[in-house]
Amino acid sequence: MNNQKAIATPLKTKEILAKYGFSFKKSLGQNFLIDVNILERIIAYAGIDKQTGTIEIGPGMGALTEQLAIHSNQVVAFEIDQRLVPILTETLGNYDNVTIINQDILQADITRVIEENFQQGQKIKVAANLPYYITTPILMKLLMEKLPVESFTVMIQKEVADRMAAKPNTKSYGSLTIAVQYYTEARIAMTVPKTVFMPQPNVESAVLHLTVRGEPPVEVQNEAFFFDLVQASFGQRRKTLRNNLARHFAAELTKETIETLLAQAEIDGTRRGESLTMEEFARLANTFYPKAGQAK
């Protein structure tokens, strides 16, 4: 590949910015990638090949989109900023396997987009340099809609990646960890220096790889209640499980009932949320649900 012609170089990026008089919008978290090697590593971690249909969110000027177009079968990219559409039309003009959708991904009917743009049964992956301010809502929407997607390989803020890939009894472990790992197996593929972006972000970055699970690792009676209880357990991190649950379920359950349910679940109420495994949270939720779930 001729890196001089790639979009993801400082020179080419500055050239395009100047040509279109483009100014970055802080509100959209725009940080464009200017290092082809990083992009090629993202493609490799994602396991993208000529059979893969790829979804991208926030293509910017098309740096990653271009590499996805070269390596995959078909690319659908969602771009919220309409100022970038004419730029993308030009930078990706040589690729007939790219579709740009000028829409907020959070408003999009992604199931319909997949049906319209990919072949039935085709393997589909998400690869993106996500806007950092809205990473979590985007990923949770995509995971909870249970799309026919095999994996997500995303550049995100390192701190958020750490939380999504965390293990119990660590500072990063929390309700977001449980939510992401309920649907996927999460691992950090690499950390990324600020220097590969224009403009440089104020935070460290990482590439997170999420492999979608065929089945969740635990069985719960009610998913919404499970996530609600997990969130409640981390309500105030320094407080015990007993105190957090008593506060959350104050309208439904007496303290005595909470003690009884904790004992039934065989979980010590003096523990903190961060010490519980997903299996323990599932047991707790399934024990509490018959008593508190109906009222929630």
Cα-to-chain-centroid distance, residue 149: 13
Classify 169 in phi/psi space as left (phi over 0), alpha (psi -120 to 50) or beta.
left
Q: Which of helix, strand or coil describes residue 263?
A: helix
Q: Assess contact for 289 and 225: CB atoms under 8 A.
A: yes
181 contact partners, CB below 8 Å, separation of at least 6:
164, 217, 278
104 annotated as a binding-site residue: yes
Q: Assess contact for 6 and 62: CB atoms under 8 A.
A: no
Q: Assess contact for 143 and 184: CB atoms under 8 A.
A: yes
129 annotated as a binding-site residue: yes
223 annotated as a binding-site residue: no
Beta strand residue intervals within the chain, DSSP E: 32-33, 53-57, 74-78, 98-101, 124-129, 151-157, 184-192, 197-198, 205-212
Most distant CA pair in the chain: distance in Å?
Answer: 69
- For 291, which DSSP code? I
Beta bridge pairs of residue 102 = none
Known binding residues for S-adenosyl-L-methionine are 31, 33, 58, 79, 104, 129
Known binding residues are 31, 33, 58, 79, 104, 129
